[in-house]
Structure formats: C-alpha cells, structure tokens
Structure 1
Amino acid sequence: MSNNLIVGFSGNITRPSSTRAFVESVTEALARKVGRQHVVFDIEDLGSSLAAARSVAGLAPEARNVIRTIVEADALVIGSPTYKGSYTGLFKHVIDLLDPADLRGKPIVLTATGGGDRHSLVVEHQLRPLFAFFEAFVAPTAIYASGRDFIDGTVSPVILGRVNQAITEASLLIGAQPISAAVAAE
C-alpha cells in the first residue's frame, strides 16, 4: 500500500549534522524523481524514550509515529555517521526495534559519512548485510562520503554521480515494487 512518501532516516545524534544534511539531499532528490513527498528523521526525533525502549510499544507516542512513518514509507534513504568502523549504536537500537518483516521488499538507498576513506566500506560491510536481513530491496549503488567530498556545502561531482546512480536504481525499485492488492488476493 503506497503512501506516496519517501522517508530519510539518519543515525546522527547531534544537530547540525552533515550526515542528516546528506540524507536530506538524497531523500529530496529521490522524492523529486519519483513524484512523491518526503520527510527526514534522525535519532533526536525519537526522543528520550528510545534509550529504555525494548520494543516499539515502549516508545513515546511521537517516537512510535516516526517508526510507523518509516515502516509505511514507499522507500527509505538510510544514513549513518561512521563510528569506529560501523553505524552508531543508537541507530542500531532503532533498527533492532523493528519486526523482521517491517522492511521486507522496501526499496532502500544506503548512505554513510565518515572522517576518511578507511571507513568507506561501512555501507557494504555493515549497512548492506543489516538490511539484507530484513529482506529489503537495497539499491546496488551505496554512497559513502567523507569530509573532503563536501565542497562549500555541496557534494563533489564524484559523489553526485553515485547519488544519481543510486536514485536511478531506487526509482526503478519503487516503480517495480507495488503489487496490487487484487493480484495479491488472487
């Protein structure tokens, strides 16, 4: 069931955040390409109930609404700052609250930011396997950007090329995703 919404979720825990800004720009570009609305969330949007939550039911109502919006999205743009070679712990905690079926078949674009090239495989070694567990449709092109990839607040041409490739792939996944209720009911 389509809600005509592309959702970005960033694992940053501070604002302002280059990771959130990057996720926002990719989310907006994808939404524009597929003619949908978009919204972006980060860890801060889940509030203080996140740390003690053992399930989605343990979250405050506002945080449950964020999770519901993520689960019901037509597609996701996921991003995390790289911390010690992986995604952040609170980002993983949010993902751990989801039911394994929540993201099944959902198109996802993976992004990550970090301080240097030595963290560039975080998208392939950490994020991609995580969302494979959920049986999501992860776009083949993932995007990692380091501080040097941002020039005066915009991404370098190399990163922009990867963003455009990932958006093209995700738009194909979004277009192929919906199976009508009539077909599913047969």
Structure 2
Amino acid sequence: MTRPKLVGFSANLQRPSKTRALVEAVAEAATVDGGLDLRLFDLVDAGTGLGAAWSRDALSLPARRVIEAIEGADALVVGSPVYKGSFTGLFKHVFDLIDPAALANKPVAIVATGGGARHALVVEH
C-alpha cells in the first residue's frame, strides 16, 4: 500500500529562504509519524519556463513536474513570502495553471513569511 503524498511548495525565488524553512517545518511536523510521503518544491524548481507559460501546454518540463506534483498530492503545505502586502505573483500563476478539480477536498495548509506586523493578515486574505 502506498503512503499518502504530502507536497510542500514554497513560492520563494531563492534557496535557502525563510519561507522554505517554514513550509518544511510545517510539512515535517505533519509527517512526524511517518505516515506520509513528503516532497518539497520551490519556485526555482519550476525553472524560468514557469513565468513564460501562458497555458499548461507551454510549460517547460521542470514546471510541469511541479504542477503535476501539486495536483497529484493528497495534501499540501503551501507558502509565500509577502511582497507589498500580498503573496507573490508567480505563486498565483502556479495556482492559475492548476486544474481546480485537482484541489477539491484536498487539505491545504497555507503559510506566509513577512517583514512585519502589517503582513500578518495575508494568509487570511
């Protein structure tokens, strides 16, 4: 029997990052009993082809792999750094390319890192 898949996705453009560390910490806490198969991705894993893709057909292979991993997960931990009071544009772009039906009934933990108190509500937004 295969273990359920948990995918962590950080919308930071560099490694290491505080956002990656947060996504990783939350995902690892969820897998502490060993019952989940964990895979972690950052935006940089999608490569430069992600931003240039207007549709799924235009995705580069690395970007397609990230999108397919998110869609194929049984649960997600997703995080974004806060820029100008919101999540990153490429974070939104990733989820614009995902089939909404692939997210139906899927548990998702949303996390964010910010530079101060003014960013505290971005996850609720």
TM range (shorter): over 0.9
SS in 1 for 2:103: coil
- 1: distance between equivalents of 2:28 and 2:110? 14
Instruction: Give the length in aligned residue pairs.
Output: 124
Q: Which residue of 2 aligns with 1:114?
A: 114
Q: Which residue of 2 aligns with 1:29?
A: 29
Q: Which residue of 2 aligns with 1:62?
A: 62
Question: What percentage of residue pairs aligned between the two structures are identical?
Answer: 56
Give me the CA root mean square deviation: 1.4
Instruction: Judge conservation of contact 2:53–2:59 (CA < 8 Å) in 1.
Output: yes
Query: Comparing both chains, which one has the higher relative contact order based on Cα–Cα distances under 8 Å and sequence gaps of 6 or more?
Result: 2
Kindly indicate which of the two structures has a greater share of residues assigned to helix: 1
Which of structures 1 and 2 has the bigger CA Rg?
1
Give yes or no for the alignment of 1:89 onto 2:89.
yes
Per-residue deviation, residues 142-172 of structure 1 (Å, max 9, x unmatched)? xxxxxxxxxxxxxxxxxxxxxxxxxxxxxxx
Instruction: Judge conservation of contact 2:3–2:37 (CA < 8 Å) in 1.
Output: no
Per-residue deviation, residues 16-64 of structure 1 (Å, max 9, x unmatched)? 1010111011111112246111011111010011111012221112221
Instruction: Judge conservation of contact 2:79–2:112 (CA < 8 Å) in 1.
Output: yes
Unaligned runs of 5+ in 1: 126-186
TM value normalised by structure 1: 0.63
TM value normalised by structure 2: 0.92
